[in-house]
Structure 1
Amino acid sequence: MKLVSAIVAVSALFAAPAFANLDLAKKNACMACHAVDKKVVGPAYQEVAKKYAGQKDAVAAVAKSIKAGGSGKWGPIPMPAQAALSEADANTLAAWILAGAK
């Protein structure tokens, strides 16, 4: 029983950042247009991760897109800028998205 409790506790520690980043995405209304695994208005986060896979500046590029917004990368509907989002939060969201939003 102690082993099971220890495994659950350790799993929770590793899962916490993912939940925190999902909460950050929800707090900033990202999930109104995006989902982890399916297109909503904007692309699925897993598709974004695939598009940027292997690019060394991917976190910076995605964070910049989050902060500045834009159009044309994923279709005709523009993404609104999240200019009030801190650089740290934009980088956290970008890293989480590029990890497949897991």
Structure 2
Amino acid sequence: MRAIWIGMIAASALFLVGTAQASEDLAKSSGCLNCHTVDKKLVGPALKDIAAKYADDADAATMLAGKIQKGSNGVWGPIPMPPNGAVNDENAKILADWILSFK
């Protein structure tokens, strides 16, 4: 029984690592990491700072997915975030959830 639990835990950990890597790959291919990094401001804010700002917002994932697709202006300073219309609804949600995972 113990071996089964250890196997399930290990499989879950591998799944989470794989999901995180897939999300990071999506962020790279979508151009997000051209302006953002995980832990420091580049052109746009650090992803950790975004996650911290919206940590208590139950609708944060939906709101961020919209900003990814439609762009944003004035939230983090004078430089606007351009819209990324090439990101579909499903991928925008994946990216938003990935960003919020840094809280």
Cα offset for 1:78? 0.8
1:88 is matched with which residue?
Answer: 90
Aligned residues: 96
Moved over 3 A (4+): none
Give the partner amino acid of 2:30.
N
In the other structure, the counterpart of 2:36 is 34
For 1:98 and 1:85, how far apart are their aligned partners in 2? 18
Distance 2:15 2:93 in 1: 21
Q: TM-score, normalised by structure 1?
A: 0.86
Provide, for residues 43-94 of structure 1, a one-character-per-residue CA deviation record: whole Å limited to 9, x for no partner: 0000000000111100001001100002100011111101121100000000
1:32 deviation in Å? 0.5
Gaps of 5+ in 2: none
Counterparts of 1:78 and 1:28, CA distance in 2: 17
Unpaired segments of 5 or more residues in structure 1?
Answer: none
TM-score with structure 2 length normalisation?
0.86
Aligned to 1:71: 73
